[in-house]
């Protein structure tokens, strides 16, 4: 549906280099990268606010590389919302309807419908200066969605919001996507990427380093930067269930891992830091509820000590010091116990 082919853009001293992205209809595509990686530049190039030095942008097979901004059929929601401060919420939302819808009643119905969908019906007569950050973000979304863009471009839509608002907006974005809206979403937050993305591209220094499903990118990082940035070597997709008051995550239908006690949705991801895993020769009696015996598969020197790869039915990465490795006499093929606390696990709802 949306395809960027070898797009290069220069802006001052920074440049995007040969960006290739392919987004299918109905995709939730995440562009993940640190600040200054070039994520927003990609969005602005798709929207037509920046002109590429070379390459092509196709939307539904049509070359829109040099198409006027107004005719691109993409909707961009800016990170700072860019709500027109001198107009009411209703006037902001109606802005793109000028010249497209003549009948006042049709216009009114359309505004009302989108306001209800986004949950801002009661804000329609307010001025932007009276709205909170979350409300402004919703208004920006409504204003863009009313154009019925083929692709919705979101620039850090959840940045600088509190947890409650973030969770609400994530739900809203998921709903929009489930209703068929194709979304390209830029973020620096890997939890956000996991929570929302069907496909993730990691961008750094103006280059796309890896593209794939969340599992591809997080479990098989193809470069040191991606591995470091995603920072999650023990990363698994899980289904959850309740057992005698405990919440259990089941990995690959075979390994059960105790999670912290909060109620979770059925599906999600778990992340476990390699530094939080304790290795021992025998099972230890401690507060750690997750204990497994496995075989040492590999030992890899790392900056902070050694990384030990243990097969417990799934591969677990643990980082320990060289002294601990010598003390425990860890060697490839040995049996070893691993343990970690339920509270060491980070659960991310999918």
Partner 1 sequence: MFLATSPVSLFETAKESEVQQSIWLTMWTSMLATIVFAFMAIPLSYLMARKTFPLKKLITGIIDLPVVIPHSAAGIAILGFVSRNSVLGKIGSSIGLDFVGKPAGIAVAMAFVSIPYLINAARDGFSGVSVRLENAALSLGASPSRVFFTVSLPLAWRNIVSGLILMFARGMSEFGAIIVVAYHPMVTPVLIYERFGSFGLKYARPVSVLFILISLAVFILLRFLAREKDSSESSQNR
Residues that bind partner 1 (CB under 8 A): 44, 47-49, 69-72, 74-76, 78, 80, 82, 84-86, 95-96, 98-100, 127, 129-130, 143-144, 147
Q: Which of 153, 117, 118 is nearest to 134 (CA)?
A: 118
| Of residues 96 and 230, the one with the C-beta less far from partner 1 | 96
Q: Which helix (H) or strand (E) holds 205?
A: none
Q: How far is the CB of 85 from partner 1 (least distance, A)?
A: 7
Contact 65, 8 (CB under 8 A): no
Q: Which of 89, 201, 69 is nearest to 138 (CA)?
A: 89
Q: How far is the CB of 129 from partner 1 (least distance, A)?
A: 4
| Of residues 88 and 239, the one with the C-beta less far from partner 1 | 88
Q: Which of 48, 340, 246, 31 is nearest to 156 (CA)?
A: 31
Contact 190, 231 (CB under 8 A): yes
3-state SS assignment for residue 173: helix
Measured distance CA(312)–CA(316) in Å, rounded: 7
Contact 156, 109 (CB under 8 A): no
| Residue 32, C-beta contacts closer than 8 angstroms, at least 6 positions apart | 39, 187, 188, 190, 193, 197, 200, 201, 202, 203, 217, 229
| Of residues 128 and 221, the one with the C-beta less far from partner 1 | 128
Q: Would you state the structure tokens that stand for residue 156, as one six-digit string?
A: 């850090």
Q: How far is the CB of 65 from partner 1 (least distance, A)?
A: 16
Q: How far is the CB of 47 from partner 1 (least distance, A)?
A: 5
Q: How far is the CB of 67 from partner 1 (least distance, A)?
A: 12
| Of residues 129 and 164, the one with the C-beta less far from partner 1 | 129
| Of residues 3 and 91, the one with the C-beta less far from partner 1 | 91
Ramachandran category for residue 242: left, alpha or beta (phi over 0 → left; psi -120 to 50 → alpha): beta
| Of residues 30 and 50, the one with the C-beta less far from partner 1 | 50
User: Tokens 């949306």 belong to which residue?
Assistant: 2
Q: How far is the CB of 263 from partner 1 (least distance, A)?
A: 40
Q: How far is the CB of 143 from partner 1 (least distance, A)?
A: 7
| Of residues 93 and 277, the one with the C-beta less far from partner 1 | 93
Q: How far is the CB of 76 from partner 1 (least distance, A)?
A: 5
Dihedral angle over CA of 277, 281, 287, 290, nearest 10: 60
| Of residues 96 and 247, the one with the C-beta less far from partner 1 | 96
């Amino acid at each position: 549906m949306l395809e960027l082919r070898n797009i290069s853009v220069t802006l001052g001293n920074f440049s995007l280099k040969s960006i290739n992205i392919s987004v299918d209809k109905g995709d939730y595509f995440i562009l993940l990268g640190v600040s200054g990686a070039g994520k927003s530049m990609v969005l602005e190039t798709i929207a037509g606010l920046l002109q590429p030095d070379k390459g092509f942008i196709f939307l539904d097979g049509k070359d829109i590389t040099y198409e006027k901004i107004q005719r691109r059929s993409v909707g961009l929601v800016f990170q700072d919302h860019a709500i027109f401060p001198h107009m009411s919420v209703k006037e902001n939302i109606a802005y793109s309807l000028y010249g497209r819808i003549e009948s006042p009643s049709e216009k009114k119905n359309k505004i009302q419908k989108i306001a209800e969908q986004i949950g801002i019906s009661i804000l329609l007569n307010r001025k932007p200066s009276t709205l909170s950050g979350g409300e402004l973000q919703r208004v920006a979304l409504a204003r863009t969605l009313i154009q019925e863009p083929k692709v919705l471009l979101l620039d850090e839509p959840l940045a600088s919001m509190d947890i409650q608002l973030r969770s609400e907006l994530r739900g809203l974005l998921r709903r929009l996507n489930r209703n068929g809206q194709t979304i390209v979403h830029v973020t620096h937050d890997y939890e956000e990427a996991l929570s929302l993305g069907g496909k993730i591209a990691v961008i750094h220094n103006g280059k796309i380093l890896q593209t794939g499903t969340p599992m591809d990118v997080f479990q098989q990082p193809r470069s040191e930067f991606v591995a470091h940035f995603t920072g999650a070597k023990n990363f698994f997709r899980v289904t959850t269930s309740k057992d005698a008051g405990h919440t259990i995550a089941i990995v690959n239908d075979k390994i059960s891992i105790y999670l912290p006690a909060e109620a979770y949705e059925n599906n999600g991801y778990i992340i476990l830091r390699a530094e939080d895993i304790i290795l021992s020769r025998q099972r230890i009696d401690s507060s750690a509820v997750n204990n497994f015996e496995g075989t040492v598969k590999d030992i890899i020197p790392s900056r902070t000590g050694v990384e030990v790869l243990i097969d417990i039915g799934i591969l677990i990465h643990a980082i320990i010091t060289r002294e601990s490795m010598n003390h425990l006499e860890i060697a490839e093929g040995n049996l070893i116990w691993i343990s970690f606390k339920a509270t060491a696990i980070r659960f991310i709802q999918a």
